[in-house]
Copies of this chain bind each other. A is one copy, B any other.
Amino acid sequence: MSEGKSPNRYTLRDVARHAGVSLGTASKALNKSGTLRQETREKVLKAANELGFRPNDLAQALHRGQSFTVGLISNDSFGRFTMPIMEGLETVLHAAGIALFMCNATDDPEREKRHIDQLLGKRVDGLIFTGRRADRRPVPGLALGNLPVLYVFSQSDEPGAACLLPDDEGGARLATAHLLSLGRTRIAHVTGPEDFEAVRLRRRGYEASLSKADPALILHGPWSEAWGREAAARLLAMPTRPDAIFAGNDQIARGIVETLRDNAISVPQDIAVIGFDNWSVMTEASRPQLSSIDMNLKLLGEEAGHRLIRMIRGESQSGTSRLPCTLVPRASTVPTPQPGQ
């Protein structure tokens, strides 16, 4: 067996020789084509297994004119949003016999450009762009022609680009409706920077859920716990305090909860707090644990996988779709006994 070749260096010719059949027969046997006796097929299969033979994908792809490979390009240097998306994608693509490979541009357009270049050279069957914020991004500086391209948790300046996103507005409606269902009547919204589309959409969902939204109860600031702390302090200083706070993300929510705690305000009894993202690092460490809105990124990845497969098979896809978020109630809105609190 050990003829100086590594397992992944054996060719089909080696398998044929080892099985005592012709090259064409070996190919037919492994590909379940042609008219061969079952005995012959099994002999070839056995030989292939003994050699640890693995077809050379490069040669296969060259011959087929299709690589069965999809490239994922992310600019999310922390991986927080990309990883669950990737997981969903990989599951669906794998079931269709397609491999998924990721390149991370770390928010560097030059690096991204060369990743695209590399993937095109590998003749990928499709490209997926994703990132750490869903706002429009510049069109890649390379012509992609008819290659199937899908933006996931991301959008493009290119008109008609196929985009898949979480429903930020719907998620905000869920959060606000949850607070309303708990009898809350004065709901504040502490959120991120106005130049994020997600911020605008979440705000819109909040506003649409209230018969009358008080602009004084809407505060914009950076995505940080520190901002959450400060914003909560401001709300507490108001003549009339809110009885609930919908935070634009979990980090802000955590900061809010900390200020409330510092001021001996009971959560959720006095003021209920709900975040967004369902980031477990935040939701679980917070005291009390945070209710949140989950963007279902893994499902988003699965849906993206299904769509890209359809595109690869020739279907046309364009425009923006948004998938629903999920409410995850925890102690910050629903009173439950908390150990150690």
Contacts and interface: CB of A to CB of B under 8 A. Distances in A.
A13 to B, nearest CB: 14
B120 A340 contact: no
B123 A56 contact: yes
B90 A104 contact: yes
Contact of A57 (B56, B122, B143, B251): B122
Nearest to A255: B285
A104 B87 contact: yes
A58 B340 contact: no
Nearest to A69: B122
Interface centre among A57, A82, A114 (most CB of B within 10 A): A57
Interface residues of A, number: 62
Contacts of A258: 287
A121 B54 contact: yes
A111 B156 CA distance: 31
Copies in the complex: 2
B6 A226 contact: no
A103 B101 contact: yes
Contacts of A61: 58
A121 B56 contact: yes
Contacts of A226: 285, 340
A286 B189 CA distance: 23
Contacts of A111: 90, 94
A217 to B, nearest CB: 22
A302 to B, nearest CB: 14
A10 B147 CA distance: 13
Given A86-B104, A104-B87, A118-B99, A6 B123 contact: no
B8 A123 contact: yes
Given A77-B83, A79-B79, A101-B102, A57 B6 contact: no
A340 B5 CA distance: 66
Given A58-B123, A94-B114, A102-B103, 11 more contacts: A6-B145, A54-B120, A54-B121, A56-B62, A56-B123, A58-B58, A87-B104, A102-B102, A226-B340, A229-B340, A258-B287
